[in-house]
A = this chain, B = another copy of it.
Amino acid sequence: MKQNKYDEAAFFNTYSRMNRSVKGLEGAGEWPVFRELIPHLQGKNVLDLGCGFGWHCRYAADQGAAEVTGVDISRNMLEKAREKSPDKEITFVRRPLEDFEYESDTYDVIISSLAFHYVRDFRQLCHSLYKALKPGGTLVFSVEHPIFTSRAEQDWFYSEDGRRLHWPVDRYQEEGERRTNFLAEDVVKYHRTVSTYIESLLQAGFLIRSVKEPAPSQERILENSEWQDEARRPMFLIVSAAKEQQAGITVIQAHA
């Protein structure tokens, strides 16, 4: 059974009060970097995996996407997503994203924000997503960075007087389950190395377009000193990958 913390009332209520839940995309520090990697969406068929409150789905609809589908495991999240999107043409599907039926050659763009580190089998998922994209299609996703997920504690190392000394890394090569504390709840994430994220995409046939580790801007740091610590270790990994001929030049000559 896939974990579904977002349908537990206490967890959901705490999550709903997070900056990114209240303010949406503008409340998510990594959004400017993520947005830059999303191709033009006008007229496109877009799939959002782990859509949560549907912020990215609404963004896609606002950008003129022809079809938008949001998938999430949580009934609570999707209820809220539907509430927030009364005037949008978005299809919301309640399904663990591993179990969604990925039809071949269907989507122009697949996006996923901070969901894939909840997926046990990323290699398998990459194959499904590659299949589901149309040729020339793009996958853009963010995950918690492997530096962030390596230890189950997923926290700073503190001095005795409570200062953040540094970010500790351990068990990096030991991929798999991490039972971690997120919003005071026991949450299961899957740690993978940077190499595994990239190699899984390459092995599925993807072309790597971009690999980002967003850092807070100087502006953000001045706004809020908490952002300073965000430059001390990367929290997110954002990847753009394309379903395209890896190498090949295709020359077609048509003679009358």
Given known contacts A207-B247, A211-B198, A253 and B253 CB-to-CB distance under 8 angstroms: yes
Bound together, the chains give a CA A213 to CA B231 distance in angstroms of 23
Contact with B along A174-186 (1 / 0, CB 8 A): 1000000000000
Contact of A256 among B166, B231, B233, B256 (CB under 8 A): B256
Q: How far is the CA of A168 from the CA of B102 in the complex (A)?
A: 41
**Is residue A147 contacting chain B, with contact meaning CB distance below 8 A?**
yes
Q: How far is the CB of A235 from chain B (nearest CB, A)?
A: 10
Q: Beyond A199-B210, A213-B195, is A166–B172 a contact (Cβ under 8 Å)?
A: no
A218-256 interface code vs B (CB 8 A; 1 in, 0 out): 000000000000011110000000101111111111111
Partner of A169, one of B167, B208, B210, B248: B167
Residue in B194, B234, B242, B246 whose CB lies within 8 Å of A173 = B234
Instruction: List residues of A whose CB falls within 8 A of some B CB.
Output: 147, 150-151, 157, 165-174, 193-195, 198-199, 202, 207-213, 215, 231-234, 242, 244-256
